[in-house]
Amino acid sequence: MKTVKDYIRTIPDFPHKGIMFRDVTTLFADPRGFRICVDQLLAPYAGLPIDKVAGLEARGFILGGAVAHQLSTGFVPIRKQGKLPGAVISQAYTLEYGEAVVEVHQDAMLAGEKVLLVDDLLATGGTAEAGIKLIERLGAEVIGCAFVIDLPELGGRRKLEAMGMRVHALCSFDGH
């Protein structure tokens, strides 16, 4: 029986030499693989009170929308700066070379709501950390962080767990 990891294609030297890019589009394109992925992402949270699923741009939108649908809850996009049309709050985070900013609508979550954060890849944890901070600034509570892929060598899981987060990843790959 195939696992989620079996559906993920690796592309060497993308976007830079020495990077092994883990391409989840092959997973998304396969109906069985995508179904297995969504079911496994939400399995640890089934039965828990979840008010919203938040997805990190961009592949987190695909996954988060599907997970929210299965959980019969709302979906909230956490987007790159300047992409949301309404009043937003922003959170900067560090990249390998520089800084980036993500945003969420000010009215996307209510104080006390329980939120599941979803994305395809956990690397250094910077984007997820920024998403968590946005959710918490709105007064909501992150009940878990679910990822398809963990790259353990980059330390993202350790960073999120040090923040008190429950981290769930379907598979892991060595290296970057």
- Examine the residue annotation and report whether 59 is marked as an active-site residue of this protein: yes
Question: What is the Cα–Cα distance from 176 to 167, expressed in whole angstroms?
Answer: 19
pLDDT at 81: 97
Domains of the chain: 47-172 (3.40.50.2020)
Alpha-carbon separation of residue 3 from 26, 142, 170, 172 (angstroms): 13, 27, 9, 12
Marked catalytic residue, from 57, 79, 96, 129: 96
Q: How many CB atoms lie within 10 A of CB 65?
A: 16
Q: Which of 22, 35, 57, 59 is catalytic?
A: 59
What local confidence, expressed as pLDDT, does residue 175 receive?
Answer: 77
Rounded to the nearest angstrom, the gap between the alpha carbon of residue 144 and the centroid of all alpha carbons in its chain is 10
pLDDT tens sequence for the chain (176 residues): 899 999 999 999 999 899 999 999 999 999 999 999 999 999 999 999 999 999 999 999 999 999 999 999 999 999 999 999 999 999 999 987 789 999 999 999 999 999 999 999 999 999 999 999 999 999 999 999 999 999 999 999 999 999 999 999 999 999 76
DSSP string, the chain: ---GGGG-EEEET-SSTT-EEEETHHHHHSHHHHHHHHHHHHGGGTTS---EEEEETTHHHHHHHHHHHHHT-EEEEEEETT---S-EEEEEEEETTEEEEEEEETTSS-TT-EEEEEEEEESSSHHHHHHHHHHHHTT-EEEEEEEEEE-GGG-HHHHHHHTT--EEEEEE-S--
Answer yes or no: are the C-beta atoms of 171 and 152 closer than 8 Å.
no
